[in-house]
Amino acid sequence: MQAAMSSKKHSENGHVVKIVVSGPFGSGKTQFITTLSEIDPVSTEIKLKSPDDQDTKISTTVGLDYGRMSMDNGRIIHLFGTPGQKRFDFMREVLTVGAHGLIILIDSTLDDTYHQAAQEIVDFFRERNSIPMLVCFTKQDLPQARPVAELEKVMDFPGSTPTLPIDATQRQSAHQAVEKMLAILDGTA
């Protein structure tokens, strides 16, 4: 990732940006990358053995997700998704090497127990590195989604971490998250 090491601004034409997409099990990481990628995304899904995890979820990521997209001005964005299951925690560290930005996806529809798991992931990154972070609350299109203000109260984010409500299944909504991440990296957010 040579270009990423240069002192060019992230918004400049031709600049390559690496964004890691993380978050707890089932928060929408694979969906987010699939929605945005301009190439066939690389995925490492296996079927879930116990479908009691979530009614609609039949598979889980066991390695990584990878997708690539380009912005109107020529910026190339590499998206790397982590697995959500705890046994693959080490992949977060592996995938974060050389990353410019971190998007944490958190499911808006679940209760506070789930958000403790989300908090562990936020703390994991907070303790290990200082990569700029954007928190996106997914599934905001679903009727049971909790309001962002309520979710923010349940969680403790570093400093003034920006947050965004999204629907990871909709390109426009997911795209806004990447735009916001780039604005954070460029200091124009």
Ligand X SMILES: Nc1nc2c(ncn2[C@@H]2O[C@H](COP(=O)(O)OP(=O)(O)OP(=O)(O)O)[C@@H](O)[C@H]2O)c(=O)[nH]1
**Binding site residues, ligand X, CB under 6 A:** 23, 25-31, 56-57, 60-61, 83-84, 138-139, 141-142, 167-169
- How far is residue 45's CA from residue 145's CA, in Å, rounded to a whole number? 26
What is the smallest separation between the CB atom of 96 and ligand X, expressed in angstroms?
A: 16
- Any idea which residue has 């912005």 for tokens? 71
CB of 47 to ligand X, least distance (A): 11
- Per CB under 5 A, does 30 bind Mg ion? yes
Name the minimum Å distance from CB 131 to ligand X.
19
4 φ, ψ (degrees, to nearest 5): -65, -20
Residue 27 contacts which entry, ligand X, Mg ion, none (Cβ below 5-8 A, type-dependent): ligand X
Q: Which region among 15-23, 57-65, 114-122, 179-187 touches Mg ion (by CB under 5 A)? A: 57-65
Provide the Cα torsion 151, 154, 158, 161; round to 10°. Answer: 10
Specify the residue, 95 or 185, whose C-beta has the smaller distance to Mg ion.
95
Q: Which does 86 bind (CB under 5 to 8 A by kind): Mg ion, ligand X, none?
A: none
Check binding of 61 to Mg ion (CB under 5 A).
Answer: yes
Tokens of 40: 């066939």
DSSP structure class, residue 89: T
Residue 69 and residue 178 in contact, taking contact as beta carbons nearer than 8 Å: yes
Give whichever of 83 and 101 is closer to ligand X, judged by the CB atom.
83
For residue 79, give the 3-state DSSP assignment.
Answer: strand
Q: String of b and e for 84-99 (b: at least 16 CB within 10 Å)?
A: bbeebeebbeebbeeb
Residue 173 interacts with Mg ion (CB under 5 A): yes or no: no
Applying CB under 5 A, the span of 28-36, 68-76, 89-97, 179-187 interacting with Mg ion comes to 28-36
Q: How many residues are listed for the chain in this entry?
A: 189
Residues that bind Mg ion (CB under 5 A): 29-30, 61
